Amino acid sequence: MIDTDRRNLVLMALLSPLSAAATANTKAISSATGEPYVYAPDSVAHWTGDEQIGMLIYPGMTIMDLIGPQSMFASLMGAKIYLVAKSLDPVTSDADVTILPTATFDTCPRDLTVLFTPGGTDGTLAAASDPDTLAFMADRGARAKYITSVCSGSLVLGAAGLLDGYKATSHWSCRDALSGFGAIPIDARVVRDRNRFTGAGVTAGLDFALAMVAELRSRFYAECTQLMAEYDPQPPFNAGSVKTAPAKVVADMTHLLEDFTTKVDELVAATAKKGLPIQRIG
Protein backbone atom coordinates (compact mmCIF):
# COMPACT_ATOMS: atom_id res chain seq x y z
CA MET A 1 0.00 0.00 0.00
CA ILE A 2 1.43 3.38 -1.00
CA ASP A 3 0.47 6.21 1.37
CA THR A 4 -0.79 9.52 -0.02
CA ASP A 5 2.43 11.52 0.49
CA ARG A 6 4.60 8.87 -1.13
CA ARG A 7 2.16 8.41 -4.01
CA ASN A 8 2.12 12.15 -4.67
CA LEU A 9 5.92 12.30 -4.61
CA VAL A 10 6.05 9.49 -7.14
CA LEU A 11 3.45 11.26 -9.26
CA MET A 12 5.42 14.52 -9.14
CA ALA A 13 8.53 12.65 -10.24
CA LEU A 14 6.59 11.27 -13.18
CA LEU A 15 5.04 14.57 -14.16
CA SER A 16 7.90 17.03 -13.93
CA PRO A 17 10.31 15.65 -16.55
CA LEU A 18 7.48 14.89 -18.94
CA SER A 19 5.66 18.22 -18.87
CA ALA A 20 7.24 19.44 -22.10
CA ALA A 21 5.77 16.48 -23.94
CA ALA A 22 2.19 17.22 -22.94
CA THR A 23 -0.18 18.37 -25.68
CA ALA A 24 -1.96 21.70 -25.21
CA ASN A 25 -5.69 22.22 -25.61
CA THR A 26 -6.31 18.46 -25.87
CA LYS A 27 -9.77 17.16 -26.68
CA ALA A 28 -10.85 14.12 -24.72
CA ILE A 29 -14.02 12.36 -23.61
CA SER A 30 -17.14 13.48 -25.43
CA SER A 31 -19.92 15.01 -23.42
CA ALA A 32 -23.53 13.92 -23.76
CA THR A 33 -24.17 16.82 -26.11
CA GLY A 34 -21.57 15.51 -28.54
CA GLU A 35 -19.22 18.39 -27.82
CA PRO A 36 -15.80 17.25 -26.61
CA TYR A 37 -14.35 18.35 -23.30
CA VAL A 38 -11.51 20.76 -23.99
CA TYR A 39 -9.00 20.75 -21.16
CA ALA A 40 -6.69 23.63 -20.33
CA PRO A 41 -3.17 23.55 -21.81
CA ASP A 42 -0.72 21.51 -19.74
CA SER A 43 1.98 23.43 -17.92
CA VAL A 44 4.09 23.17 -14.79
CA ALA A 45 1.58 25.45 -13.04
CA HIS A 46 -0.99 22.65 -13.21
CA TRP A 47 1.04 20.16 -11.16
CA THR A 48 0.05 21.75 -7.85
CA GLY A 49 -3.07 23.63 -6.83
CA ASP A 50 -5.19 24.72 -3.93
CA GLU A 51 -8.57 23.16 -4.70
CA GLN A 52 -11.05 22.79 -1.84
CA ILE A 53 -13.06 19.59 -2.35
CA GLY A 54 -16.08 18.91 -0.16
CA MET A 55 -17.32 15.30 -0.28
CA LEU A 56 -20.64 14.68 1.46
CA ILE A 57 -20.84 11.48 3.49
CA TYR A 58 -23.92 10.07 5.21
CA PRO A 59 -25.13 6.81 6.77
CA GLY A 60 -25.98 4.15 4.21
CA MET A 61 -24.00 5.66 1.33
CA THR A 62 -22.35 3.28 -1.13
CA ILE A 63 -18.72 3.23 -0.08
CA MET A 64 -17.28 2.76 -3.58
CA ASP A 65 -19.16 5.86 -4.77
CA LEU A 66 -17.05 7.79 -2.28
CA ILE A 67 -13.71 5.98 -2.24
CA GLY A 68 -13.27 5.67 -6.02
CA PRO A 69 -13.47 9.43 -6.62
CA GLN A 70 -11.68 10.24 -3.35
CA SER A 71 -8.68 8.14 -4.38
CA MET A 72 -8.43 10.02 -7.68
CA PHE A 73 -8.91 13.44 -6.02
CA ALA A 74 -6.12 12.49 -3.59
CA SER A 75 -3.68 12.62 -6.52
CA LEU A 76 -4.25 16.37 -6.80
CA MET A 77 -1.14 17.73 -5.15
CA GLY A 78 -1.97 20.73 -2.97
CA ALA A 79 -5.72 20.07 -2.92
CA LYS A 80 -7.60 19.75 0.37
CA ILE A 81 -10.34 17.11 0.66
CA TYR A 82 -13.05 17.43 3.29
CA LEU A 83 -15.24 14.44 4.18
CA VAL A 84 -18.31 16.33 5.33
CA ALA A 85 -21.11 15.03 7.56
CA LYS A 86 -23.69 16.46 9.94
CA SER A 87 -21.34 15.77 12.85
CA LEU A 88 -17.92 14.25 13.42
CA ASP A 89 -19.46 10.96 14.53
CA PRO A 90 -18.38 7.89 12.52
CA VAL A 91 -20.47 7.27 9.40
CA THR A 92 -21.23 3.69 8.39
CA SER A 93 -21.81 2.85 4.73
CA ASP A 94 -24.27 0.35 3.28
CA ALA A 95 -21.42 -2.19 3.20
CA ASP A 96 -20.73 -1.71 6.94
CA VAL A 97 -17.49 0.18 6.28
CA THR A 98 -17.15 3.08 8.70
CA ILE A 99 -15.63 6.44 7.71
CA LEU A 100 -14.57 9.28 10.00
CA PRO A 101 -15.70 12.73 8.80
CA THR A 102 -13.12 15.50 8.76
CA ALA A 103 -15.57 18.42 8.67
CA THR A 104 -19.17 19.21 9.55
CA PHE A 105 -21.77 21.28 7.74
CA ASP A 106 -20.68 24.20 9.91
CA THR A 107 -16.90 23.81 9.55
CA CYS A 108 -16.72 22.91 5.85
CA PRO A 109 -15.29 25.85 3.85
CA ARG A 110 -18.00 28.08 2.41
CA ASP A 111 -16.37 28.41 -0.99
CA LEU A 112 -15.58 25.03 -2.52
CA THR A 113 -13.91 24.19 -5.78
CA VAL A 114 -15.81 20.88 -5.96
CA LEU A 115 -18.98 19.87 -4.14
CA PHE A 116 -19.56 16.12 -4.38
CA THR A 117 -22.09 13.57 -3.17
CA PRO A 118 -22.03 9.78 -3.40
CA GLY A 119 -25.13 7.65 -3.86
CA GLY A 120 -26.72 4.59 -2.31
CA THR A 121 -30.25 3.34 -1.76
CA ASP A 122 -32.18 3.92 1.47
CA GLY A 123 -29.36 6.02 2.90
CA THR A 124 -29.44 8.29 -0.12
CA LEU A 125 -33.21 8.67 0.08
CA ALA A 126 -32.83 9.67 3.73
CA ALA A 127 -30.11 12.20 2.89
CA ALA A 128 -32.20 13.61 0.02
CA SER A 129 -35.08 14.11 2.47
CA ASP A 130 -33.05 15.61 5.31
CA PRO A 131 -33.52 19.40 5.66
CA ASP A 132 -30.06 20.00 7.13
CA THR A 133 -28.32 18.04 4.37
CA LEU A 134 -30.30 19.78 1.64
CA ALA A 135 -29.65 23.20 3.18
CA PHE A 136 -25.92 22.46 3.26
CA MET A 137 -25.87 21.27 -0.34
CA ALA A 138 -27.90 24.22 -1.59
CA ASP A 139 -25.71 26.69 0.31
CA ARG A 140 -22.36 25.32 -0.84
CA GLY A 141 -23.76 24.62 -4.29
CA ALA A 142 -24.64 28.29 -4.67
CA ARG A 143 -20.92 29.13 -4.71
CA ALA A 144 -19.05 25.95 -5.68
CA LYS A 145 -17.12 26.04 -8.94
CA TYR A 146 -18.22 22.48 -9.75
CA ILE A 147 -21.29 20.59 -8.50
CA THR A 148 -20.91 16.85 -8.84
CA SER A 149 -22.23 13.40 -7.95
CA VAL A 150 -21.87 9.71 -8.66
CA CYS A 151 -24.61 7.11 -8.93
CA SER A 152 -27.86 8.00 -7.12
CA GLY A 153 -26.06 10.90 -5.45
CA SER A 154 -27.65 12.96 -8.21
CA LEU A 155 -30.93 12.51 -6.31
CA VAL A 156 -29.41 14.55 -3.48
CA LEU A 157 -28.37 17.26 -5.94
CA GLY A 158 -31.84 17.22 -7.49
CA ALA A 159 -33.63 17.42 -4.15
CA ALA A 160 -31.40 20.36 -3.20
CA GLY A 161 -32.50 22.19 -6.35
CA LEU A 162 -29.11 21.94 -8.04
CA LEU A 163 -29.99 20.14 -11.29
CA ASP A 164 -32.93 22.10 -12.66
CA GLY A 165 -32.30 22.71 -16.35
CA TYR A 166 -29.11 20.63 -16.44
CA LYS A 167 -28.28 17.39 -18.22
CA ALA A 168 -27.31 14.71 -15.71
CA THR A 169 -26.92 10.99 -15.23
CA SER A 170 -27.33 8.55 -12.37
CA HIS A 171 -27.60 4.85 -11.64
CA TRP A 172 -29.78 3.22 -14.31
CA SER A 173 -32.46 2.35 -11.74
CA CYS A 174 -33.25 6.00 -10.95
CA ARG A 175 -31.81 8.01 -13.86
CA ASP A 176 -35.16 8.82 -15.47
CA ALA A 177 -36.50 10.11 -12.15
CA LEU A 178 -34.12 13.08 -12.42
CA SER A 179 -36.63 14.70 -14.76
CA GLY A 180 -38.84 15.19 -11.70
CA PHE A 181 -36.23 17.64 -10.38
CA GLY A 182 -36.16 19.55 -13.65
CA ALA A 183 -33.04 17.78 -14.91
CA ILE A 184 -32.55 16.23 -18.34
CA PRO A 185 -31.64 12.55 -17.86
CA ILE A 186 -28.82 11.31 -20.10
CA ASP A 187 -27.80 7.68 -20.54
CA ALA A 188 -24.03 8.08 -20.34
CA ARG A 189 -21.25 7.06 -18.01
CA VAL A 190 -20.14 10.65 -17.34
CA VAL A 191 -22.18 13.74 -18.19
CA ARG A 192 -21.00 17.32 -18.08
CA ASP A 193 -23.34 20.26 -18.46
CA ARG A 194 -21.57 23.53 -17.74
CA ASN A 195 -20.29 23.21 -14.16
CA ARG A 196 -22.26 20.05 -13.36
CA PHE A 197 -20.40 16.74 -13.60
CA THR A 198 -22.40 13.60 -12.85
CA GLY A 199 -21.39 9.96 -13.02
CA ALA A 200 -23.54 6.88 -13.56
CA GLY A 201 -23.59 3.90 -11.21
CA VAL A 202 -20.80 3.08 -8.74
CA THR A 203 -17.79 2.18 -10.93
CA ALA A 204 -18.48 5.18 -13.17
CA GLY A 205 -17.11 7.16 -10.23
CA LEU A 206 -13.60 6.34 -11.46
CA ASP A 207 -14.36 7.68 -14.95
CA PHE A 208 -16.04 10.73 -13.40
CA ALA A 209 -13.09 11.46 -11.13
CA LEU A 210 -10.51 11.15 -13.91
CA ALA A 211 -12.57 13.59 -15.99
CA MET A 212 -12.57 15.95 -13.00
CA VAL A 213 -8.80 15.59 -12.51
CA ALA A 214 -8.32 16.50 -16.18
CA GLU A 215 -10.69 19.45 -15.79
CA LEU A 216 -8.91 20.74 -12.69
CA ARG A 217 -5.34 20.15 -13.88
CA SER A 218 -4.87 18.66 -17.36
CA ARG A 219 -5.47 15.54 -19.42
CA PHE A 220 -1.81 14.60 -19.00
CA TYR A 221 -2.11 14.81 -15.21
CA ALA A 222 -5.23 12.62 -15.36
CA GLU A 223 -3.48 10.07 -17.56
CA CYS A 224 -0.61 9.85 -15.07
CA THR A 225 -3.15 9.37 -12.28
CA GLN A 226 -4.88 6.65 -14.28
CA LEU A 227 -1.62 4.83 -14.87
CA MET A 228 -0.63 5.09 -11.21
CA ALA A 229 -3.96 3.45 -10.34
CA GLU A 230 -3.52 0.96 -13.21
CA TYR A 231 -7.14 1.64 -14.08
CA ASP A 232 -7.48 -0.60 -17.13
CA PRO A 233 -10.86 -2.32 -16.73
CA GLN A 234 -11.27 -5.68 -18.40
CA PRO A 235 -14.30 -7.22 -16.65
CA PRO A 236 -14.84 -10.96 -16.88
CA PHE A 237 -18.46 -10.49 -17.94
CA ASN A 238 -20.26 -8.10 -20.26
CA ALA A 239 -23.11 -7.40 -17.84
CA GLY A 240 -22.23 -3.93 -16.60
CA SER A 241 -25.02 -2.14 -18.47
CA VAL A 242 -28.70 -2.75 -19.10
CA LYS A 243 -27.80 -2.57 -22.79
CA THR A 244 -25.33 -5.45 -22.60
CA ALA A 245 -26.41 -7.63 -19.67
CA PRO A 246 -28.44 -10.81 -20.34
CA ALA A 247 -32.18 -10.21 -20.34
CA LYS A 248 -32.75 -12.35 -17.23
CA VAL A 249 -30.08 -10.43 -15.30
CA VAL A 250 -31.76 -7.12 -16.22
CA ALA A 251 -35.22 -8.46 -15.35
CA ASP A 252 -34.15 -9.91 -11.99
CA MET A 253 -32.20 -6.82 -10.93
CA THR A 254 -35.02 -4.52 -12.01
CA HIS A 255 -37.40 -6.59 -9.88
CA LEU A 256 -34.99 -6.49 -6.94
CA LEU A 257 -34.83 -2.69 -7.12
CA GLU A 258 -38.58 -2.12 -7.50
CA ASP A 259 -38.96 -0.97 -3.88
CA PHE A 260 -36.12 1.51 -4.29
CA THR A 261 -37.47 2.95 -7.53
CA THR A 262 -40.91 3.34 -5.92
CA LYS A 263 -39.33 5.25 -3.04
CA VAL A 264 -37.42 7.42 -5.52
CA ASP A 265 -40.71 8.37 -7.18
CA GLU A 266 -42.12 9.22 -3.75
CA LEU A 267 -39.05 11.39 -3.03
CA VAL A 268 -39.52 13.31 -6.28
CA ALA A 269 -43.22 13.86 -5.54
CA ALA A 270 -42.49 15.00 -1.98
CA THR A 271 -39.76 17.38 -3.16
CA ALA A 272 -42.09 18.92 -5.74
CA LYS A 273 -44.77 19.36 -3.10
CA LYS A 274 -42.36 21.18 -0.77
CA GLY A 275 -41.42 23.56 -3.57
CA LEU A 276 -37.73 23.68 -2.68
CA PRO A 277 -35.89 26.69 -4.13
CA ILE A 278 -34.06 26.00 -7.38
CA GLN A 279 -30.42 27.02 -7.64
CA ARG A 280 -29.55 28.03 -11.20
CA ILE A 281 -25.79 28.45 -11.42
CA GLY A 282 -23.19 28.50 -14.15
At 35 the pLDDT is 46
Q: Which residues have C-beta within 8 Å of that of residue 10, sequence separation ≥ 6?
A: 2, 228
Rounded-to-integer distance, Cα 154 and Cα 166, Å: 11
For 38-77, how does the pLDDT look when each residue is reduced to its tens digit (9 = 90+)? 444 444 446 899 999 999 999 999 999 999 999 999 999 9
Q: Which of 198, 195, 176, 181 is nearest to 242 (CA)?
A: 176
pTM: 0.86
197 in Cβ contact with 208 (< 8 Å): yes
Report the pLDDT value the prediction gives residue 179, as an integer from 0 to 100. 98
What is the helix (H) or strand (E) element at residue 90, kind and residue range?
none
Instruction: Note if 151 is an active site residue.
Output: yes
The confidence score (pLDDT) of residue 274 equals: 79
pLDDT of residue 5: 56
> What does the pLDDT read at residue 181?
97
Angle between helices 4-15 and 219-229 (to 10 degrees): 130
The full set of domain ranges for the chain reads 4-274
- Cα 108 to Cα 144: distance, rounded to the nearest angstrom: 12
Using CA atoms, how far apart are residues 172 and 242, in angstroms rounded to an integer? 8
Instruction: Map residue 226 onto helix, strand or coil.
Output: helix
Where the chain has pLDDT below 50, the residues are: 1-2, 16-45, 278-282
For residue 133, the surrounding DSSP H or E stretch is helix 131-141
CA dist 107 and 102 (Å) reads: 9
Q: What angle do CA 214, 222, 174 make, to 5 degrees?
A: 65
Cα angle 141-158-70, degrees, rounded to a multiple of 5: 60
pLDDT of 15 reads 52
pLDDT at 4: 57
Residue 261's pLDDT is 98
* Per-residue model confidence (pLDDT) at position 171: 98
Active-site hit among 108, 151, 174, 224:
151
Q: In the CATH scheme, what is the code of domain 4-274?
A: 3.40.50.880
**DSSP annotation string for 168-210:** E---TTTGGGGGGGT-EE--SSEEEETTEEEE-STTHHHHHHH
